[in-house]
Amino acid sequence: MKFTTEKSTTEKYSSEEQRSSASPQTAGSQSEIDARVSAGPETAAAETAEREVRDAEVSEGAARPAPPTGSGSDTSGGQSRRLPASVLTPPPPAPSPHLDDYEKIIGQAQLDDLRFLARDLKGKSIKMVNSTAVGGGVAEMLNRLVPLLSELEVPTHWDVITGGNDFFEVTKAFHNALHGTRYELTKAAQEIFLMYNEQNRERLQFAEDLIVIHDPQPVGLIRSHDRTPANWVWRCHIDLSNPDEQVWEFLRPFVEQFDAAIFSSQSFARQLPIPQYLFYPCIDPLSEKNKDLPDAVVQRICDDFGIDRSRPIVTQVSRFDRLKDPVGVVQAYKLAKKYVDCQLVLAGGGASDDPEGAAVLQEVKDVAGNDPDIIILDLPPWCALEINAIQRASTIVVQKSLKEGFGLTVTEALWKGKPTIAGAVGGIPNQVIHKLTGVLVHSVEGCAFQIRYLLTHPDFAKRIGTAGREHVKENFLMTTNVKRWLLLFRILERAKSRRGARRP
């Protein structure tokens, strides 16, 4: 990727540049690492890494914030052993797909619809602004979205705001406060936030027809709204259902100046005087994490990890984090195992660099005891392909979260047609419609029962797995995301021309 520096601090790059071979191609958590090992943007490495960690929290499951330690481990029956050499170093970045590559997945008719939608927008352009170029769910999504929109002849530019550590400390605190953590909003914090927003506002140009500001960090750029004829949209990737009131009241006047806001779930939104749209987070079916795999690859990876494909496999993929309740999953497995034979695979990361993750991993190992059928994999964050293979080899996928953003690991499992058991929290019920596209549970006992039921009722398991995949195809794929952006752009343009027509 060729990064240019605009007025020395703003990283700016276009979709065309992203097609080049060294671009931070995104493939689940793979992208973080790909981005790190390739020539990154011209920002201070420490600053970037910090921001990656912050931004990664935006999209649970899409990308993990763990740095590439490569010190993951594989635990089976309480016995640790080294991971296979193949996963110890990050693979080279995969090429970015083109629109036509999606034809075999969504069909020609859906592609035609995208092209028709884009046709009336020809000559118009979009600018996306966020706070990080690499790592994290937003950057990952933009890495795919920006080239696809441009391929549809809606040129889309992506700018990244900059700031010092003090700015990102404040925005990290805002982020947590918006998620509900108590926070004392000081005058100094407000000034830091406003100062960096003003600096970025002076540096950036807003010549496009649609300006999209992602998340709270660059929200102050809205002050340029009146200088431009563009529609301005705020894309909020975080859950605002229970924010710290001080922080929200500070940000609200900015948000209310936008022409529209976008949230990832109905329950994440606030009462605002502007239209609010629902854009579900999405997965890329062509990424390393989600692409089809030959059975031989699935078999090899299972062999590497000691997973026996001749027996039922129950899997949870997630960080070793209490909110993902890995201990509860082990308990549910143990209850189910009294009735049905199965193995449990817990595949995740985050334990190598995070003291809490390491503690949770230890708790999981303690609960697992010496059961040889419990396989615990603390994987480095670039193991998208391995995660893909494990999900595909699984008989059932579990995501027994106690709290969740959207839960993209659920989307990944559904996409692979897997009967999925998931906690009824956060954005999961948007994906898992109970007994239709998966099953929802509220307790360890409920999870254990559903494991037993799905393993002994393969026809039902197959039916919900098939419907789950269709649900993802309809609602949670990257191409649907492209469609939503095009629809929104057209709807806002239509509203703008009506406003213009009403003016004397």
Partner 1 sequence: MRKPNKPFYFNTSEHLLRIGRQKATNLAELWQALQTCPDDSIFQHTFRTLQEHHFIRQGFSNDFAHWAISACNEPVLAEQLASVDVREYTDIEGLRRRMVGIVDEFLQQHPRSGDKTAHEPFFFCASDLVVLPTPFAPDTVSGFLEGLRKVSVHSIHHHFIEARLRLHSMTNDFSQWLEEEVGLERPAQSIERIDIYTNTMEGVRQQIANIVEQNLN
Applying CB under 8 A, which residues contact partner 1? Answer: 107-110, 112-113, 116-117, 263, 266-267, 269, 271, 275-278, 424, 429, 433-437, 467, 470-471, 473-475, 483-484, 487-488, 490-491
Which is nearer to partner 1, 33 or 464 (by Cβ)?
Answer: 464
Token pair 């696809």: residue = 148
Q: Residue type at 316?
A: Q
What does each C-alpha distance from 154 to 5, 14, 147, 150, 285 come to in angstroms? 23, 12, 10, 5, 22
Q: Distance (Å, rounded) from C-alpha 154 to C-alpha 149?
A: 5
30 and 110 in contact (C-beta within 8 Å)? no
Helix (H, G, I), strand (E, B), or coil: what is residue 259? coil
Which is nearer to partner 1, 309 or 490 (by Cβ)?
Answer: 490
Q: Distance (Å, rounded) from C-alpha 445 to C-alpha 284?
A: 33
Q: How far is the CB of 44 from partner 1 (least distance, A)?
A: 38
Q: How far is the CB of 32 from partner 1 (least distance, A)?
A: 30
Q: How far is the CB of 279 from partner 1 (least distance, A)?
A: 8
Residues β-bridged to residue 421? 398, 439
Q: How far is the CB of 30 from partner 1 (least distance, A)?
A: 29
Which is nearer to partner 1, 7 or 104 (by Cβ)?
Answer: 104
Which is nearer to partner 1, 177 or 464 (by Cβ)?
Answer: 464
| Extended strands (E) in 161-266 | 210-214, 231-235, 260-263
Q: How far is the CB of 105 from partner 1 (least distance, A)?
A: 13
Percent helix, strand and coil across the chain, each to the nearest 5:
45, 15, 40
Q: How far is the CB of 441 from partner 1 (least distance, A)?
A: 13
* Alpha helices, DSSP H, located in 244-383: 245-255, 295-305, 326-337, 355-368
Helix (H, G, I), strand (E, B), or coil: what is residue 316? strand
Residue (of 225, 236, 223, 152) closest to 489 by Cα position: 152
Q: How far is the CB of 494 from partner 1 (least distance, A)?
A: 8
Residues β-bridged to residue 314? 344, 396
Which is nearer to partner 1, 224 or 475 (by Cβ)?
Answer: 475
Which is nearer to partner 1, 142 or 414 (by Cβ)?
Answer: 414
Which is nearer to partner 1, 435 or 457 (by Cβ)?
Answer: 435
